[in-house]
Structure 1
Amino acid sequence: MAFNDRNFRGDYRGFRGNSGPREMTKVTCSDCGVETEVPFKPTEGRPVYCRECLPNHRKF
């Protein structure tokens, strides 16, 4: 079954859509200790990294 078989109009914008600016949360980087902002509410007990430290922790 293709998209056109389900009357897909091609205007799907995904989860984010156009909901305006995201709410930012101030956090402290778990590596370097710098204060930064992230576009989500962190889960307690899980590390949060700044933009500079995050690439060191990605598992690609």
Structure 2
Amino acid sequence: MAFNDRNFRGDYGGFRGNSGSREMTKVTCSDCGAETEVPFKPTEGRPVYCRECLPNHRKF
């Protein structure tokens, strides 16, 4: 079976498609203090990181 565009657009549930705009929330990065926006409502008491700082906190 060959890959086609549908697999990458999320039509079959593998990936999220672009189903419209997401509500963004303005936050301050817990590491560097930069203002940024995230596509979710942060949980109080949990750190939120900007795009640049997030890789430093990912666990693999």
| TM-score in terms of structure 2 length | 0.72
Structure 2 unaligned spans of 5+: none
Percent sequence identity is: 95
Runs of 4+ in 1 over 6 A off after TM superposition: 1-10
Q: Which moved more, 1:11-20 or 1:50-59?
A: 11-20
CA RMSD of aligned residues (A): 5.1
Q: Which moved more, 1:39-48 or 1:9-18?
A: 9-18
Deviations 1:2-43 (A, max 9, x none): 999999999534695553110000000000000000000000
- Name which one, 1 or 2, has greater alpha-carbon Rg: 1
Taking structure 1 as the reference length, the TM-score comes to 0.72
Q: Greater relative contact order (Cα 8 A, min sep 6): structure 1 or 2?
A: 1
- Alpha carbons of 1:15 and 1:42: their partners in 2 closer, same or farther (altered >3 Å)? farther
Q: List runs of 5+ in structure 1 lacking aligned partners.
A: none
